[in-house]
Amino acid sequence: MFHFTSLRQWPKRGLISHLLDNFQLTRFPTEKEISVFRLGMFSELHLNTPRDSEFSKNKMREFFGSEHHDTTVQGHAALECAIADVLYDKNDGYHILSSIMADAIFDDITEVDAIVYPSMQNRYGTNVAIKKDFADTLNIEFTSFNRLDDVFENGFFKYTTLKECSDYSNSDVFILSDVVGQCCYR
């Protein structure tokens, strides 16, 4: 079973200005196998894997049908670097470009359900873009309504859970219950 928790993202450089803002965390389990496009897989293969390794040859056979595609992998890795420059742009509106990129991948590779790429907001974080059609098949297992209380330089933050809901038997009515105390992580 795969569990995915979504969290609203704020630009780290502007996160302090979002203190006391509210956001929602939602967990979605699924039994379905998810077809994932992992941005950076060609760069990982090109930069960190010996070309003559069995792993490298197997990946080229998997992606391109033959193990003789060093330059193809190198070209795809270069494209990933260009895409990363767009994703990690510091200008306002950079998230619009990531949305355009996700739409292009979903349109071009129709079997992909989700795109995974590194987060700029947290050095160990991961962003996941989920295709709308796939997201519509997910069932909510839990959701909480939270307030952002503090932001730390290392990318961690502190929040207070204000309300939560775990009963979704009636998909038309979600009842959020007050939470007493503080929850900083689930």
Instruction: Convert the pLDDT of each residue in 132-150 to its tens digit.
Output: 889 888 888 888 888 888 8
The closest alpha carbon to 182, from 149, 155, 151, 154, belongs to 149
Residue 125 and residue 101: Cα distance in Å, rounded? 19
The closest alpha carbon to 131, from 154, 142, 151, 115, belongs to 115
On average, the pLDDT of the chain sits at 78
**Would you call 49 helix, strand, or coil by DSSP?**
coil
**At residue 50, what are phi and psi to the nearest 5 degrees?**
-60, 130
- Position 113, amino acid: D
Residue 14 pLDDT: 45
Each domain of the chain, given as residue ranges in start order, spans: 1-12+21-32+137-186, 37-131
Do residues 141 and 29 lie in contact, with contact meaning Cβ atoms separated by under 8 Å?
A: yes
Residue 65 and residue 75: Cα distance in Å, rounded? 17
Pairing of strands 177-178, 2-7: unpaired
Whether the per-residue pLDDT at 7 is higher than 70: the answer is no
Residue 18 pLDDT: 54
**Residue 73 CA neighbour count, 13 Å, CB half:** 26
Helices (H), 33-69: 41-48, 54-64
Name beta bridge partners: 157: 151
Whether the per-residue pLDDT at 77 is higher than 50: the answer is yes
Residue 64 pLDDT: 87
CA 111 to chain centre: 18
pLDDT single digits (tens) 26-44: 888 888 888 998 888 888 8
Band of residue 89 on the pLDDT scale cut at 50, 70, 90: low
DSSP conformation class of 16:
G
